Copies of this chain bind each other. A is one copy, B any other.
Amino acid sequence: MTLDPAIAARLKRDPQGLVPAVVQQYDTGEVLMVAWMNDEALHRTLTTGRATYWSRSRNELWTKGDTSGNVQLVKSAALDCDGDTILLRVDQVGVACHTGDRTCFDAGELPVSGAR
């Protein structure tokens, strides 16, 4: 399988050939997680409707939910203005985080002393 050349030409990959993907619950707007994609992961995501990423720790493609059941059904995708980030809007089945939290940011609040 090969990524559409017209899309591939717009991608600005990092030195590892990857772009970050921001994953958002399509109806509530929750930011669920950030993962990484190479061309093959993006191709599979766009053509199968199941969010697929490149694991930087395991050096392999992973389709979210294959082992956990917590699949992400893709509703839409967009590339940003300079082609180096993807926004994926999905319907998250179950939870997004391996900790069991709904999102990967639920437990990580940082203090903002200068909040406006």
Binding site for B on A (CB under 8 A): 4, 7, 20, 22, 24, 28-31, 33-34, 45-50, 73-83, 85-87, 91, 97-99, 101, 104-116
Q: Are B49 and A34 in contact (CB under 8 A)?
A: no
A29-B29, A105-B87 known; A49 and B114 CB under 8 Å? yes
Chain B residue, CB-CB nearest to A87: B105
Contact check: which of B28, B78, B91, B114 meets A105 at CB < 8 Å? B78
Q: Which of A30, A78, A86 has the most CB of B within 10 A?
A: A78
Residue pairs across A and B with Cβ atoms less than 8 A apart, 5 shown, are A4-B111, A46-B113, A74-B114, A81-B101, A81-B107
The distance in angstroms between the C-alpha atoms of A23 and B45, with both chains bound, is: 23
Q: Are B85 and A34 in contact (CB under 8 A)?
A: yes
Q: Are A114 and B80 in contact (CB under 8 A)?
A: no
Q: Are A49 and B115 in contact (CB under 8 A)?
A: yes
A22-B22, A29-B28, A87-B105 known; A116 and B81 CB under 8 Å? no
